Amino acid sequence: MTSESTNHSLLVLAAGLGTRYGGLKQMEPVGPSGETLMDYSVFDAKRAGFSRVVFLIREEMRSAFEEQVGSKYEGIMEVAYAYQDKFDLPAGFSFPEGRERPWGTGHAVWAAREALADGPFAVINADDYYGAETFSELISAFSPDSGAETPLTCAMIGFRLRETLSEHGAVSRGICVSENGFLQSVEEWTRIGSDPPVGFDASGEQRSLTGEEVTSMNVWAFSPRIFPLLEREFIDFLAKLEDPLTSEFYLPAAVDGWIRSGLARVVVRSASCSWMGVTYKEDRPRVMESIARLVGEGKYPSPLR
In order of their start, the domains of the chain are 9-296 (3.90.550.10)
pLDDT score of 276 more than 80? yes
Q: How far apart are CA 135 and CA 41, in angstroms?
A: 8
pLDDT for 143 equals 65
Residues 177 and 266: beta-carbon distance below 8 Å: no
262 Ramachandran zone, left/alpha/beta (phi>0; psi -120 to 50)? left
Give pLDDT tens digits for 1-58. Answer: 544 446 899 999 998 744 445 445 457 789 999 999 999 999 999 999 999 999 999 9
What is the residue-averaged pLDDT of the chain?
90
Is the pTM for the entire model greater than 0.95?
Answer: no
